Amino acid sequence: MIKQLLVLSKDQAFLARLNKAGQQNDWQITALTTATSIVVALNQADYDGLLWDLAASNLDTTLATVMLIRETFAHPIIAIATTPSEREQRKLYRAKADAVIDRTLAMSVFSALFDQRTWAYQNAPATVAT
């Protein structure tokens, strides 16, 4: 089954690596360059995950957007950075990001992480309203 991965990044070299991994893993990758375009895309189509390059927007914009998205997006949100700081990681986890990874992480490891997170969301028990 093809997985739809939405990506926020302006880094062409990273996107090339990701597209190559996508071909090997049956991912359909939609790459965008602004936080606003991510919100619009999520309102127009279904995606299996979001990969957010922290170099593409400032931390405040990232946090505000991730918190907004998380209200309705029940799929993995993974942030990438070059050596993510403790502060960035802490704030992103509080905003309900699923993972914060280093940009140099091998694509095979990212693939395993994305598959695991996707599986976890698909197999999570439904919440019961009380």
- What does the pLDDT average to over 84-92? 94
- What does the pLDDT average to over 2-7? 95
Give the mean pLDDT of the chain.
93
Give the model confidence (pLDDT) of 98-107 as tens digits. Answer: 999 998 999 9
Tokens of 39: 């919100």
Rounded Cα distance, 81 and 18, in Å = 14
Rounded Cα distance, 9 and 33, in Å = 5
Rounded Cα distance, 42 and 35, in Å = 11
| Cβ proximity of 9 and 44 under 8 Å | no
Give the model confidence (pLDDT) of 17-52 as tens digits. Answer: 999 999 999 999 999 999 999 999 999 999 999 999
Taking the whole predicted model, whether its pTM rises above 0.75 is answered as yes
Tokens of 2: 């093809």
